[in-house]
Amino acid sequence: MKKKCRFEVIKGDITSLEVDAIVNAANNSLLGGGGVDRAIHKAAGPELYEECLNLDGCATGESKITKGYRLKAKYIIHTVGPVWHGGYRDETDLLASCYQTSLKLAYQHKIKTIAFPGISTGAYRFPKDLAALIAVNETKRFVSKNNYPEKVIFVAFDQENYEIYRKLLEK
């Protein structure tokens, strides 16, 4: 019997995916920002902003969950990635924590399918290769010990990120 693959990389728009949860690369306020955060808030509608007002923000490296509202995804897991400062401010540990805490929420809510963007790789300037390596390593470690999530999708916004993830997942 062939073992089913629990990882996938796609190039596209995370807001359009039919999955149980998408992960939002949020800022500490959780009230919307730029990049994927802005796109998710826009696609989910004003109800997301209203729910986020009651969450009292989120610390860097931590995660919180909300409903998906107008998205096809049932849930949004908001995680706050670190701003890159050359690797001297625990950025790698904080980014790893983003994946760990997001996956823990997915497990607690029995989320079968989850999609991650490239956390911290946009305006926060985290090196894309290193960020992808942390993402893949942390998710592989987590799913090897847990039944949920059953499938993890890495969503690349551009061809460069797609190739980075594709090569890592082929190993």
Strands 113-116 and 21-26: parallel
Rounded Cα–Cα distance for residues 73 and 85 (Å): 33
Q: 64 phi and psi, to 5 degrees?
A: -135, 155
Q: Are 149 and 8 a contacting pair, CB within 8 Å?
A: no
Q: Which residues are catalytic?
A: 37
CA–CA distance, 17 with 11 (Å, rounded to integer):
11
Token pair listed for 169: 């997942």
CA distance 119 to 121: 6
Residues in the chain: 171
